[in-house]
């Protein structure tokens, strides 16, 4: 199936300066949003606490729910509507720790009924201690960092045949990160420093394709995280799974474009690199649109029909599909051209 003519010639590379400006503005907005909010808004998976999902038989007010919770020692809870308003379902978040929550599920049903005068059904109660939340938060950061490093091995080995160099570099970085983590260095600072060192090593070791792919993936994750912060959405374990999915999706699209660039470099040896890159993007454009479009249809179905539990997960994937497709065309590929201009090497 092909919706785009094979001889199409859109000047993607010619608009790379505008694309750099758009990407820079989105990344800057993401950083500013995170600074204003004091970092990501963590769910109970990472911050610790308790989430209670309650369904009432008739409409009730949040104030009545809070009054009932206060009677069992839960002060200053956050109460929000869950799903459609007509379903009379609420999500209650509280800082009550796991140790202080024994028998909470047994107490809350009767308390809610007494405070609101309406029968209450406890759908779920999830409790995470603060230390467990901290450990999960650190492991999530390490998971994304290690995913990027192992992607480096694959990209460098497949496109530049530098399996040994990339393997040694990744092993050294993982060892250094592990040792520093044992010294109680702040995990976010540690991961950020390791990523910067990785990009510097890519430059000196001439991992051109790996540099393009990793910069594009960092671009995708940063903007997606910024959008979540902008809309004040919570980060939980499903969202981390969505970010890892976005990394894999964006990388797959980038590899397709890189593969065509490599083929065309051998076929059109006398053409300028910008012409070859632009031709390669156009040749893979039909495949990119079909893949992104069909994936987007499925994710949109999850977003609108999947219910409240999976809503944020689907939202992250929707943002990731748009940003990942954009970065494969306007971020990863132009970096190869920028590399040639900076080093004078094809």
pLDDT tens per residue, range 1-33: 556 676 778 889 988 889 999 999 999 999 999
CATH superfamily of 13-43+132-343: Multidrug efflux transporter AcrB transmembrane domain (1.20.1640.10)
- Quote the tokens at residue 309: 């539990």
Tell me the fold of 49-128. Answer: Alpha-Beta Plaits (3.30.70)
- Per-domain boundaries in the chain: 13-43+132-343, 49-128
pLDDT value for 100: 46
Question: What is the DSSP secondary-structure string of 217-273?
Answer: HHHHHHHHHHHHHHTTPEE-HHHHHHHHHHHHHHHHHHHHHHHHHHHHHHH-TTS-H
In this model, does residue 101 exceed pLDDT 60? no
Query: Among 16-25, 65-74, 126-135, 218-227, whose mean pLDDT is lowest?
Result: 126-135
- 233-267 pLDDT, tens digit each: 888 888 999 999 999 888 988 999 999 999 999 88
Q: What is the mean pLDDT of residues 277-293?
A: 90
* CB-facing half-sphere around the CA of 134: CA atoms within 13 A: 6
pLDDT value for 225: 93
pLDDT value for 102: 52
pTM over 0.75: yes
Helix axes 237-267, 285-305, angle to 10 degrees: 170
């Amino acid at each position: 199936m092909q919706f785009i003519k094979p001889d199409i010639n859109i000047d993607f590379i010619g608009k790379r300066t505008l694309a750099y400006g758009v990407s820079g503005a989105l990344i800057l907005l993401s950083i500013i949003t995170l600074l204003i909010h004091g970092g990501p808004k963590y769910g109970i998976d990472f911050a610790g606490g308790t989430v209670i999902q309650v369904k009432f038989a008739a409409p009730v007010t949040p104030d009545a729910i809070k009054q009932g919770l206060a009677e069992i020692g839960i002060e200053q809870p956050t109460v929000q509507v869950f799903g459609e308003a007509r379903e009379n379902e609420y999500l209650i978040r509280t800082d009550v720790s796991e140790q202080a929550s024994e028998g909470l599920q047994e107490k809350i049903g009767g308390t809610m009924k007494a405070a609101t005068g309406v029968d209450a059904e406890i759908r779920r109660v999830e409790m995470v201690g603060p230390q467990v939340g901290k450990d999960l938060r650190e492991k999530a950061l390490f998971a994304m960092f290690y995913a990027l490093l192992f992607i480096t091995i694959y990209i460098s080995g497949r496109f530049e045949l530098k399996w040994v160099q990339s393997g040694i570099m990744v092993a050294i970085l993982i060892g250094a990160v592990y040792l520093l983590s044992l010294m109680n260095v702040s995990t976010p600072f540690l991961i950020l420093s390791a990523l910067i060192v990785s990009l510097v090593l890519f430059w000196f070791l001439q991992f051109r394709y790996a540099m393009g792919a990793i910069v594009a993936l960092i671009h995708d994750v940063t903007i997606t995280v910024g959008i979540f912060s902008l809309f004040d959405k919570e980060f939980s374990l499903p969202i981390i799974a969505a970010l890892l999915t976005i990394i894999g999706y964006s990388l797959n699209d980038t590899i397709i474009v890189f593969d065509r660039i490599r083929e065309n470099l051998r076929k059109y040896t006398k053409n300028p690199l910008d012409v070859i890159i632009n031709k390669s993007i156009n040749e893979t454009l039909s495949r990119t649109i079909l893949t992104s479009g069909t994936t987007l249809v499925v994710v949109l179905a999850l977003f609108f029909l999947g219910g409240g539990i999976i809503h944020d997960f689907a939202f992250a994937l929707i943002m990731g599909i748009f940003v990942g497709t954009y970065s494969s065309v306007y971020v990863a590929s132009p970096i190869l051209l920028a590399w040639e201009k900076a080093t004078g090497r094809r």
